[in-house]
Amino acid sequence: MIRTPNLVLIGFMGTGKSAVGRTCATQLGFPYHDTDTWISRRVRKPISQIFAENGEAFFRDCERDAVRELSVRSAIVLSTGGGVVLDPENTRMLRESGIVVLLTATVETILARVGGRGSRPLLQSDDPESRIRALLLERDSAYRAAADAVVDTSDLTREEVAEQVVALYQGGAH
């Protein structure tokens, strides 16, 4: 049997992976999954509480388990946490599982989208903008190396992004 590739969304916090992923899943008729949701259910705590009580290393272990379990499924849309590409093994599994689309946004857009919600433990800082810039710089090459295609979401609606992502998936993104 030929396996139907997954549609995998990667990218920084606030680039719209979850919202766009859900819309793409509806359009493709695929189930929607999200590594953060998988981890929260498994550990029975919100992500912010996992970071606070168990630490980032524990979270990253759970994230690897989530990728291992979800990437072997087929015909799903999978949104991932912004740090998933920090582990090359995650990147390898995700790339093997389907088409990987990177969502990007400007620092200003990211700040506006994540600002004030307090749910991103890595952005709990007096200067979230500098934190975003530093993390983006650190991660940019890993994001790009993992991606089959890139969509800049800064000036697009969720529907417009989803339309482009679905077209990339259906075109095989090559």
Selected binder of ligand S3P within 45, 61, 121, 148 (CB under 6 A): 121
Burial class of residue 16 (count of CB atoms within 10 Å of its CB; 0-12, 13-18, 19+): buried
Helices (H), 55-123: 56-71, 88-97, 107-114
Give me the least distance between CB of 120 and ligand S3P, in Å please.
5
- Say how many residues make up the chain: 174
Which residues between 41 and 70 bind ligand S3P (CB under 6 A)?
A: 47
Q: How far is the CB of 37 from ligand S3P (least distance, A)?
A: 10
- Give the C-alpha distances (Å, rounded to integers) separating 34 from 84, 95, 141, 167: 12, 16, 23, 21
Closer residue to ligand S3P (CB): 36 or 91: 36
Residue 75 has phi, psi (to 5 degrees) of 55, 50
| Residue 82 touching ligand S3P (CB under 6 A) | yes
Q: Nearest residue by C-beta to ligand S3P?
A: 81
Residue 5's region, left for phi above 0, alpha for psi from -120 to 50, else beta, is beta
By rule CB under 6 A, what count of residues binds ligand S3P?
10
The residue range among 101-109, 118-126, 142-150, 166-174 that interacts with ligand S3P, by the rule CB under 6 A, is 118-126
Confirm or reject binding of residue 81 to ligand S3P (CB under 6 A). Answer: yes
36 near ligand S3P, judged by CB under 6 A:
yes
Shortest gap between Cβ of 10 and ligand S3P (angstroms)? Answer: 9
Residue with tokens 């030929």: 2
> Which CA distances in Å does 147 have to 7, 19, 120?
11, 19, 23
Contacts with ligand S3P, residue ranges (CB under 6 A): 13, 17, 36, 47, 81-83, 120-122
